[in-house]
Amino acid sequence: MRSKFKILTTTVLVATAALVMVKCNKKLIEHPYTVFTPEYFKSPTGLQSGVNSLYSGLRWDYGPEGAVGITQDGTDEFTYADQPRTGAGGTQDYITLGNYTLDASNGAILTPWNRNYNNINLANAIVNFAPGVAMDTITKTGLVAQARFLRGLYYLLLVEQFGAVPLDLGSGDLLFNQNPYQGFNRLPLADVLVKDYKAMIDDFTYASQNLPDQRPAGAFKAAKAAAFLMLARTYIFRGYSVAKQPGDFAAAYAASTQVINNQAKYGVTLQADYGDVIKEGNDYNTEILFSVERIPGDLNNNEELSGSIGGSKGIDAANDFTPDYTSVKSPTTAGTTPAATRTVLYGRPIRRFCPTPWLFNTAFADKINDSRFDNSFRMVWLATQAGGGFAVGDTAFVLAKTKAYADSINTQPVVKYRAIAPGEMYVIGGTFANNIYPGLKKYEDSKKIIPNDPGGRPFPVAKFSELYLLAAEAAMADGHPADAVPLLNIIRERAAYRAGLSAPVLAARKAAMDITVAQINLDFILDERTRELCGESLRWPDLAVRNKLVERVKLYNPDGAAKIDAHHNVRPIPQSQLDNTADLNKTQYQNPGY
């Protein structure tokens, strides 16, 4: 018995040993199931997945707080509101952006800087690899055209903030980089800027020739009209820059009128009512050429985190412009706070940015004939909780356009709500006592899950109306300003429209909106852009590339006036970029003055 067991055990031991001793070098070969390599982008599905990423990456540039901050804060339109002003919640980046004390460590400037190159490189991969991918040519060309449109846009968003940026990421200009490159190819600045503009114009030109004529009705895949808009915008930007070329403004005029004159071909029209352009639920209207898409209320698919500010791809703009409606007392300062409960529509009063006095008093001096102020700003809040004589849904308080109107409300004993005069509004009235100001309502989203969520509606990037403004500006700059008049008047007359106005009243208002050639100059164009495009993440570059930033901030933005000077026309290169660059002479890469 014992010896049998012994034999058995010996046999098992020897057999196991033999089994394990088998030469098994093939065990050392990796067979990953979960890892794609860059080779993936050489397949048809890889190309499409790459393009999806390129679209998705734009969510960083349109909506998140950093992106809003660098395009709106410290302009003639907006300055920083209560939270940055009191330093609450890590908002120092928005004070320093707005009062022009920002340094290279500012967090907001990282939003485009840290996000865009990765997508530019991916676009390079798609453009470089596509010729070798076996698939049908039409689909392939469409993908390449989208990739080039998006690459051009990624570059534009960088150039307008930082000036010259690298086309060579480590493997050569506009080539997919797979090298662990530690250099930073932005020198010499002037030459690189010339190449940047050329690359963007080439991309948008290719896109305007190879994208579909029209976008799908219910989606925002890039189409020709959007490419023409970006092309026009880029030509105009170059026309004002040190890289300007003869014919830039003429080319911009040609690109923009191409769409204006062929609206049916490109499937675009102006909305009759300005209010419909930005109306929730009408996000896919034919005036919007291109939006960065999201699905209202769908946090995961929007890549946004519930209740977060910054750090995800949601639309923080939905809360950033929201004043502290929850603390406003009605009927008087001793009253209750009828809107103390936040609602999804009104959002979280995160109080990052508020309108400047200039915006309220000058740009929108005419709030009657021009419907765009009312259609852009919330002036009335309804009660969100019962108590103090208010039922939910009663008017809680209103912001009055004039002191007279406010007085007329506040002196009527039957009116229980309160009207706040312009002189009492935060910043606008020169006061910080009342934490209330007109709230930009373009991004309000009633389908959020909770009030603190970021918004989830498509974010307009290119609107047909802007093509009229670009065409008018190009005409003016190209020396035929008379051509600008009808273009501007189309936009201005449309702005007179309000539902319910009688025909004669509307006609009178339209007439009042009309302008003449004598009125046209760059400042007028910029004023008109504010009225049409206020708060749409365009303003800072609009001013900076046209070399009007310093002048207009000094005139119209009390917070920024003291410190701004010419070097602020571009942002500092972020410190983290310089820290990671393998070159001892890092300062040579920094923009002058920082």
| Sign of the torsion angle spanned by Cα atoms 163, 169, 173, 177 | negative
Residue 188 interacting with another protein (CB under 8 A) = no
Which CB sits closer to another protein, 55 or 240? Answer: 55
**What is the per-residue binding string for another protein in 325-354, x denoting contact by CB under 8 A?**
-xx------------x-x-----xxx----
Residue with tokens 């935060």: 426
Q: Which two tokens stand for residue 242?
A: 């040190």
Residue 139 interacting with another protein (CB under 8 A) = no
Which CB sits closer to another protein, 135 or 305? Answer: 305
Residue 284 interacting with another protein (CB under 8 A) = yes
- Name the segment binding another protein (CB under 8 A); options: 135-143, 241-249, 493-501, 569-577: 569-577
The residues that bridge with 462 in the sheet, in sequence order, are: 290
Residues 244-283 that bind another protein (CB under 8 A): none
Which CB sits closer to another protein, 302 or 330? Answer: 302
Which CB sits closer to another protein, 266 or 346? Answer: 346
Whether the CB-CB separation of 229 and 200 falls below 8 Å is answered with no
Whether the CB-CB separation of 129 and 176 falls below 8 Å is answered with yes
Q: Which of 113, 266, 274, 390 binds another protein (CB under 8 A)?
A: 113
SS3 290: strand
Which CB sits closer to another protein, 253 or 397? Answer: 397
| Sign of the torsion angle spanned by Cα atoms 159, 163, 169, 173 | positive
Residues 23-42 that bind another protein (CB under 8 A): 24-25, 27-38, 40-41
Residues 149-178 that bind another protein (CB under 8 A): 165-166, 169-170, 176-178
Nearest-10 Cα torsion for 84, 89, 94, 96: 80
Which CB sits closer to another protein, 301 or 361? Answer: 301
Residue 131 interacting with another protein (CB under 8 A) = no
Q: Which of 72, 96, 385, 537 binds another protein (CB under 8 A)?
A: 96
**Least gap, CB of 92 to another protein (angstroms):** 6
Q: Which two tokens stand for residue 469?
A: 């403004």
- Name the segment binding another protein (CB under 8 A); options: 71-79, 93-101, 386-394, 510-518: 93-101
SS3 25: helix
Residue 240 interacting with another protein (CB under 8 A) = no
**Least gap, CB of 134 to another protein (angstroms):** 19
SS3 416: coil
Which CB sits closer to another protein, 97 or 513? Answer: 97
Residue 121 interacting with another protein (CB under 8 A) = yes
**Least gap, CB of 9 to another protein (angstroms):** 5
SS3 422: helix
Whether the ω angle into residue 331 lies within 30 degrees of 0, i.e. cis, is: yes
Q: Which long-range contacts (CB under 8 A, 24 or more apart) does 576-580 make?
A: 576/110, 576/114, 577/113, 577/184, 578/104, 578/184, 580/182
The residues that bridge with 288 in the sheet, in sequence order, are: 463
**What is the per-residue binding string for another protein in 409-438, x denoting contact by CB under 8 A?**
-----------------------x------
Which CB sits closer to another protein, 12 or 391? Answer: 12
Whether the ω angle into residue 188 lies within 30 degrees of 0, i.e. cis, is: yes
Alpha-carbon span 513 to 488, nearest angstrom: 10
- 323: exposed, middle or buried (C-beta count within 10 Å: 0-12, 13-18, 19+)? buried
Alpha-carbon span 179 to 170, nearest angstrom: 6
- Name the segment binding another protein (CB under 8 A); options: 53-61, 197-205, 251-259, 364-372: 53-61
Which CB sits closer to another protein, 328 or 488? Answer: 328
